[in-house]
Amino acid sequence: MISLPTPRKDSEVSLEHTLAVRRTIRNIGPDPIPLSDLSQLLWAGQGITDEHGHRTAPSGYGVYPLELYVVAARVDGLESGAYRYHPREHALSPVPNGPEMDHLVALSGGQEVVKRAAVAVLIAGGVEKMEARVGARAIHSLNLEAGHVAQNILLQATALGLAATPAAGFDKAELDLPAGETLYMVLTGNKG
């Protein structure tokens, strides 16, 4: 397990300002991002925020079927590679034979923003956990939840002054992770 820096719960940047300036920014520069920024992004997406295990993003029936994976290309203090995020420990573990950024580039039809990304945060989940609660509505629920998680990450990236792009334009069938299918991803890094 690789411990992440403790995320902060407050800042000088207001939610209103963050909402007002959030934009899809595909022009990502070559500089690495600090591990503290990655820590903050993951906490925004799936961080645990109370003693009952509730998280930053809502989940139908509190099932929390989604997991975050990181494909790191340029993060200070973190070796390039694929990692799984563990919300309870606020830590990462390596994913052996996990996807690399080149793989994501290929699956996304060569999108420039993927080539430029310092980090891709992948939002993945298996439908089974949700099916047990909501039956046939499970995949709908999973996709709604992925949207909540992505927006949290995008807003946090904006508040940190990072460039960020949400992306669903990739071949999902080819990107199965231990948690299940990858539903959505956020590409981020310093502004170019």
Ligand X SMILES: Cc1cc2nc3c(=O)[nH]c(=O)nc-3n(C[C@H](O)[C@H](O)[C@H](O)COP(=O)(O)O)c2cc1C
Catalog residues that contact ligand X under the rule CB under 6 A. Answer: 23-24, 26, 111, 113, 165-169
**Contacting residues for 184 by C-beta, under 8 A, at least 6 apart:** 122, 123, 146, 147, 149, 150, 166, 167, 168
In angstroms, what is the minimal distance from the CB of 150 to ligand X? 8
Q: How far is the CB of 118 from ligand X (least distance, A)?
A: 16
By C-beta, is 111 or 190 nearer to ligand X?
A: 111
Q: Which is nearer to ligand X, 20 or 132 (CB)?
A: 20
Least distance to ligand X, CB of residue 39, Å? 24
For residue 31, give the amino acid letter: D
d(CA 73, CA 117): 7
Which residue's CB is nearer to ligand X, number 2 or number 139?
139
> Inter-axis angle of helices 138-159 and 127-134, to 10 degrees?
120
Task: Please provide the distance, in angstroms rounded to a whole number, between the alpha carbons at the two ends of the chain.
Answer: 32
Question: Which residue lies nearest ligand X, judged by its C-beta?
Answer: 169
Q: Provide, rounded to whole angstroms, the least separation between the CB of residue 85 and ligand X.
A: 21
63 vs 154, which CB is nearer to ligand X? 154
Distance, CA of 43 to CA of 123 (rounded, Å): 13
